[in-house]
């Protein structure tokens, strides 16, 4: 996980077309939107399910622009809520023990 400005710089350096979805993409739309090769997903993609991701990929399939599944990798801009919540819970427990 990297700061949003660092992610934007990396995407700019790559230069490949990127679709940014998820709540992080919405949260950092100002930074990511400055990268010409990045397209931001709409509000409906803030919390994408697997079926939404398939729907987003469908136009590539129609154009026969196939990508091998092993070459796909998510790029998370922040830790998962579960990890954040567990850390906060552990901090509260540790504070109670002192």
* Residue 39 near residue 12 (C-beta atoms within 8 A): no
- Dihedral over alpha carbons 24, 50, 1, 32 (to 10 degrees): -40
How far is it between the farthest Cα atoms of the chain? Answer: 61
Q: Give residue 37's pLDDT band: very low, low, confident or very high (50, 70, 90).
A: very high
Q: Residue 77 has what pLDDT? A: 66
Domain positions in the chain are 4-97
On the CB side of 67, CA atoms within 13 Å amount to 11
In whole angstroms, give the CA distance from residue 16 to residue 52: 22
Average pLDDT over residues 39-65: 83
Q: Give residue 78's pLDDT band: very low, low, confident or very high (50, 70, 90).
A: low
In whole angstroms, give the CA distance from residue 64 to residue 54: 14
Q: What is the mean pLDDT of the chain?
A: 81
pLDDT > 90 in the chain, percent? 14
């Amino acid at each position: 996980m990297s700061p949003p400005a660092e992610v934007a710089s990396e995407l700019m350096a790559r230069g490949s077309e990127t679709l940014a979805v998820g709540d992080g993409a919405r949260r950092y739309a100002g930074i990511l939107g400055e990268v010409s090769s990045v397209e931001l997903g709409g509000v409906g993609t803030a919390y994408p399910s697997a079926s939404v991701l398939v729907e987003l990929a469908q136009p590539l399939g129609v154009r026969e622009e196939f990508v091998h599944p092993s070459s796909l990798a998510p790029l998370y801009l922040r830790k998962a809520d579960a990890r954040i919540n567990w850390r906060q819970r552990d901090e509260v427990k540790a504070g109670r023990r002192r």
